[in-house]
Structure 1
Amino acid sequence: MVQGISGRHEFSALELASLASFSPSYDYGSENDSDSCCESQPCPQDFSLNFDRAFMPALYSLLFVLGLLGNGAVAAVLLSQRAALSSTDTFLLNLAVADMLLVLTLPLWAVDAALQWVFGSELCKVAGALFNVNFYAGALLLACISFDRYLSIVHAMQLYRRGPPTRVTFTCVAVWGLCLLLALPDFIFLSAHRDERLNATHCQYVFPQAGHRALRLLQLLAGFLLPLLVMAYCYARILSVLLVSRGQRRLRAMRLVVVVVVAFALCWTPYHLVVLVDTLMDLGAWSRNCSRESRVDVAKSVTSGLGYMHCCLNPLLYAFVGVKFRERMWTLLLRLGHPGRAGPSRQPSSRRDSSWSETTEASNSGL
């Protein structure tokens, strides 16, 4: 788990990867205490520690396998027709890569959760930054898809189709660059830190308490609230336009994109609400005691596990909701299984033919 030099629990974006509450409880002092047990010594964390050690490694291992296979399949399908990728497909390809890179860090955090961090400070920095880069990238790429659809349907503006072919590439590069900037604190402040009270070493932030609060705020704004607001506004406007125009075909075409956004909100909202509660308790705005603190620690582990599941959920949504994605996947499997018998897959006639749904095609046809 990531913690500051004070020894108090501090959860930031990296904690989604290193969620186990391995440090002792907050050592609050008299300033924010509401329970006499916490005034003289840290609260006992036996229950949350045992829960995390049993729950998190198993969850990380499962999500590592599912996320790698699922997002690998998505990337393979999109790359199999890379000459005709739409702008939406390009964003989704980058999203699949972000999810794959994120789940690649899970085996490291599984070891950290079950035992301790044994990989040294350099890999601690790299793994933490890699996690955060892809955490932010996933949210921002979904916002890019939403904005692209919004311009196309609401304003009939083909930002990427009618512009230079490299425009969508530049957008993706800008997103990745911004995510690298947001992950700079991990490169600077993360290190393998020895906790003498636990007799264990963990990958932790080492800076003052205010730094953890700043990271929490950054994660909440850049990794959740702003992308979610962009997605909600764009799709609310899109659906209102399609309902007025009675474009039933286009409404069906939008269903996968809407489902993906709803999945993002459902997976990550519980975690951010729990972190908000923990932050209010930390600031003294909400009284805390040992029992409440233990429940919040367990809730953070469970809800962040739900957030992790989002990395594996998108490929399932594409497979069950995206008609064209299923067709492309089946064609690719036939080509791989019978290379001598299966002919070349049918290539899209234009960049409008999206491989995962009819969204691009419908939105380009005019209202």
Structure 2
Amino acid sequence: MDYSDNYAYDYNYSYDENATVTEESVFQHTSTCLKEILCMSLLVVSVVIFLLGFCGNALVIWISGFKMKKTINTTWYLSLAISDFVFCAFLPFSIANMAMEDWVFGRFMCKFAPSVMFLNMFSSIFLLVIISVDRFVSVAFPVWAQNHRTIRKASVIVVLAWLMAIALSVPSAVFRDVGSHLGRTICFNNYTSSQHSHKIVALSRLLAGFIAPFVIIIICYSIIILKLRTNRMTKSSKPFKVMTALIAAFFVCWLPYHVFVLLELSHQNYSHSVLSAGLKVGTSLAAANSVLNPVLYVFMGNDFKRKFKSSVLSKMENAMADEGRTTSRYLSRSSSVDTRASTHI
């Protein structure tokens, strides 16, 4: 049976007719989530990720979609924020399932909700790759980029990335199923229809969702750093620190998940408790990437920060207008900062 590929959902094996598994050795549930330290900790972490990710990405969508002039960079940021926002919006399903240890949302949501989770995984990663390539092109080929980078082309690229993400998310809906076990309803991965389907799905996700994107990101940012240092195009060390943070965040968030997914393919050689705990921690780290994305890719952009301060202070000015003209004048001056700086790191 298989307990991977659930992305913060139920960790359980898919039914395997050839496997000899006893309920006492694998499926015995002696305690609830609220009594287990690891499960309770991950539950709290998931709630925090939901709150921060939902609010943070909603703020990014509001500012980049409605408060800022539409540019190529805001197109990337807006698409990334929408992807992470949708993921966070569906987190309550996995949080409820984790807390109750019972799937109560029916077969359709069992198939649909995890598919949305994987849609976020692929679309988010593809968008990070697009941003990396776009920055590489802008630095390595500035003249060409100036003449060929357009908002229309950026929108087309985003649509293509989403279509690829949808295609790679289909297996999650195909192999998801609902069953009953030990008096509870579980939403699990049923790979019994094809002998090698589990391995194919896991390896394709590893290749398309981690190895290939990570290699591309590493290459792009390595060339950017070398180019900037060689040409002395920047006097500040901030771009290098931010680029290092981007690569490190991507690696740390996604590596544990994919490692344990690979180990799960040979689950008979490893302890069930170790694999289960590893997958739970791995999926929580992967989910945390939806919180880090708006911080690393957006809030560190100078014009976004200025627009954020301008918008928030303007709202405060309107709300406090009746409190006194002095405060109103101060907020008005504070909200008039120049918002024309580039969003490039």
- TM-score (ref. length: structure 2): 0.83
Size of the aligned set, in residue pairs, is 327
Aligned counterpart, 1:61: 47
1:185 aligns with 2:171: yes
| Equivalent-residue separation in structure 1 for 2:131 and 2:85 (angstroms) | 19
1:179, distance to aligned residue in structure 2 (A): 0.9
Secondary structure of 1:11's partner?
coil
Q: Are 2:14 and 2:188, in contact at CA under 8 Å, matched by a contact in 1?
A: no
Select 2:113's aligned residue among 120, 127, 131: 127
Gaps of 5+ in 2: 322-327
**Identity over aligned pairs, percent:** 24
Q: Match for residue 200 of structure 1?
A: 184
The answer on whether the counterparts of 1:105 and 1:131 sit within 8 Å (CA) in structure 2 is: yes
Match of 2:245 among 247, 256, 259: 259
Q: Could you tell me which residue of structure 2 aligns to residue 335 of structure 1?
A: 314
RMSD over aligned Cα atoms: 3.1
* Structure 1 CA distance for aligned equivalents of residues 149 and 301 of structure 2: 27
Q: Which residue does 2:74 correspond to in 1?
A: 89
> Is the CA contact 2:14–2:190 (under 8 Å) kept in the aligned structure 1?
no
Distance 1:28 1:242, change over 3 A: farther
Could you tell me which residue of structure 2 aligns to residue 108 of structure 1?
93
Give, as a single letter, the amino acid of the residue that structure 1 aligns with 2:306. Answer: E
Q: CA contact under 8 A between 1:271 and 1:304: conserved in structure 2?
A: yes
Deviations 1:72-116 (A, max 9, x none): 12222212444243x233212111111110011111111222221
Map of 2:342 onto structure 1 = 354
1:293 paired with 2:276, answer no
Distance 1:160 1:213, change over 3 A: farther
Residue aligning to 1:35: none
Supply the distance in 2 between the matched residues of 1:170 and 1:261 (Cα, whole angstroms): 26
- For the 8 Å contact 1:24–1:42, the answer to whether it is kept is no
Unaligned runs of 5+ in 1: 1-7, 31-37, 360-367
Residue type of the partner of 1:300?
Answer: L
Structure 1 residues 346 and 79: alpha-carbon distance in aligned structure 2, compared to 1, 3 A threshold:
farther
Q: Tell me, in whole angstroms, the C-alpha distance in 2 between the residues paired with 1:105 and 1:232.
A: 30
Is 1:169 the counterpart of 2:149? The answer is no
Q: Which residue of 2 aligns with 1:21?
A: 11
- Does the aligned pair in 2 maintain the 1:228–1:265 contact within 8 Å? yes
Determine helix, strand or coil for the equivalent of 2:104: coil
1:266-317 CA-to-partner distances (Å, cap 9, x unmatched) read 11112222222332x34x7xx33xxx23112112111221221111122333
TM-score (norm 1): 0.78
| AA matched with 2:188 | Q
**1:142 touches 1:261 (CA, 8 Å); kept in 2?**
no
State whether structure 2 residue 292 is matched by structure 1 residue 313. yes
The separation in 2 between residues aligned to 1:199 and 1:68, in whole angstroms, is: 34
Q: Which residue of 2 aligns with 1:43?
A: 26
Using the alignment, how far apart are the partners of 1:240 and 1:99 within structure 2?
31
Q: Answer with 338-347 or 302-311: which moved more.
A: 338-347
Structure 1 window deviating more from structure 2 (260-269 vs 49-58): it is 49-58
Q: Name the amino acid aligned to 1:328.
A: K
1:274 aligns with 2:253: no
Deviation for aligned residue 1:159: 4.1
User: Matched residues in 1 for 2:298 and 2:150: separation?
Assistant: 31
What is the deviation of 1:205? 2.8
C-alpha distance in 2, partners of 1:319/1:144? 15
Answering whether residue 68 of structure 2 is matched by residue 79 of structure 1, we say no
Is the CA contact 1:71–1:97 (under 8 Å) kept in the aligned structure 2? Answer: yes
Q: Secondary structure at the match of 1:143?
A: helix
Judging by fraction of residues, say which structure has more helix.
2
- The one-letter code sitting in structure 2 at the alignment partner of 1:95 is L
Could you tell me how far apart the structure 1 residues matched to 2:65 and 2:169 are? 28
- For residues 130 and 56 of structure 1, the distance between their equivalents in structure 2, rounded to whole angstroms, comes to 21
